[in-house]
Amino acid sequence: MAEPTKHVLLMDGPDSKGLIYHVTGVLYRHSFNIIHNDEYVSPGGQFFMRTEFEAGSLLTGVAHDTLDGAALLNELNTTLPNAQGITFRLNPKRKKNIVVLVTKEHHCLGELLIRYAFNELDADILAVVSNYNVLQPLVSKFGIPFHHISHEGKTREEHEDAIRRTLNIYEPEYLVLAKYMRVLTPAFVNHFPNRIINIHHSFLPAFVGANPYRQAYERGVKIIGATAHFVNNDLDEGPIIAQNVQEVDHRHTATDMAIRGKDVEKIVLSQALKLVFSDRVFISGNRAIVL
């Protein structure tokens, strides 16, 4: 008899009565056992659910479970009285394909490369793209393609076109801005809806824009932070995935704050990516729901 394997079912859409009942009913009739079920309904009436359950392999169709995944999804869709607008995802691919965009700072990129090298990133880094070549030596240590696409002598559109041509080679599922210090145009961002993740070097919404540690110093803050978020058309305004903070005091110069901040930035970015790549993050308007 097949060992039970763990499956993950994700579901979101407009709320209506009986959603949990109908979905768990399908699983129950196949004798699947739910290990963990996390559900959230937003004030706006949007339903989100993440269900972990154990079953014999869905794909091989053993005795008590003659279904494959497609059949299960079909059954779920036809069982719901009100399936309009509901999206199901079953066992989404764990390893995402990503391209990382950087400028000159290494701390976030280094963090991602080390995690990738030890299979801890839940993603494959297909390539690194930068408007400078400073980080090429680091990337080459890990055997990953590095594309230096300078912005010099190019309009913003020309530069982004050049980046997109390179991205087209790799067809990444997500773009990770690991301290990519140029603002992206709405046109560019629109090509990757909810698929660009940025690390912002401040506790958003404080200190939007450039040079936040200088701003933090001038203001004499006692705590600094970092924010990982999806990028949408408004600068620094997409759904927040993760944040963390670090205490500082008046003895810290703006430079000291930046150094301390880097430790927060790279951990926050890594933890946000872990959440997104393990399919725990849903988007509800301008908020990220983490199940």
20 in contact with a copy of itself (CB under 8 A): yes
Q: β-strands 146-148, 123-130: how paired?
A: parallel
What binding mask, one character per residue, do residues 60-99 give for a copy of itself by CB under 8 A, x or -? ----------------------------------------
Active-site residue among 124, 236, 249, 256? Answer: 236
Of 172 and 225, nearer to a copy of itself (C-beta) is 225
Q: Which tokens hold the place of 19?
A: 């959603």
- Judged by CB, which is closer to a copy of itself: 140, or 165? 140
Across 159-188, b (16+ Cβ under 10 Å) vs e yields: bbebbeeebeebebbbbbbbbbeeebeeeb
CB of 2 to a copy of itself, least distance (A): 16
Does residue number 38 form part of the binding site for a copy of itself (CB under 8 A)?
A: yes
- Residues paired with residue 10 on neighbouring β-strands, in sequence order: 50, 89
**Residue/partner pairs of 248-255 with CB below 8 Å, 24 or more apart:** 248/216, 248/221, 248/222, 248/223, 248/224, 249/222, 250/220, 252/217, 253/217, 254/213, 254/214, 254/216, 254/217, 254/218, 255/213
Verify whether residue 236 is a known catalytic residue: yes
How many separate helices (H) and strands (E) can be counted in the chain? 8, 13
Q: Of 95, 148, 191, 287, which lies in the binding site for a copy of itself, with binding defined by CB under 8 A?
A: 287
Check: CB of residue 264 under 8 Å from CB of residue 224: yes
Q: Please identify which residue in 46, 131, 232, 243 interacts with a copy of itself, judged by CB under 8 A.
A: 243
The yes or no reply on residue 245 touching a copy of itself (CB under 8 A) is yes
- Comparing CB distances to a copy of itself, the nearer of 172 and 238 is 238
Residue 41 is a binding residue for a copy of itself (CB under 8 A): yes
Q: Which is nearer to a copy of itself, 126 or 138 (CB)?
A: 138
Q: Is 21 in the site for a copy of itself (CB under 8 A)?
A: yes
* Per-residue binder mask for a copy of itself (CB under 8 A), 100-139, x = binder: ------xx--xx--x--xx-------------------x-
CA 105 to chain centre: 21
Alpha-carbon torsion (173, 176, 181, 185), positive or negative: positive
Residues that bind a copy of itself (CB under 8 A): 15, 17-22, 24-25, 27-28, 31-41, 43, 106-107, 110-111, 114, 117-118, 138, 141-142, 203-207, 215, 218-223, 225, 239-245, 247, 249-251, 253, 263, 267, 270-271, 284, 286-290
**What residues act catalytically?**
236
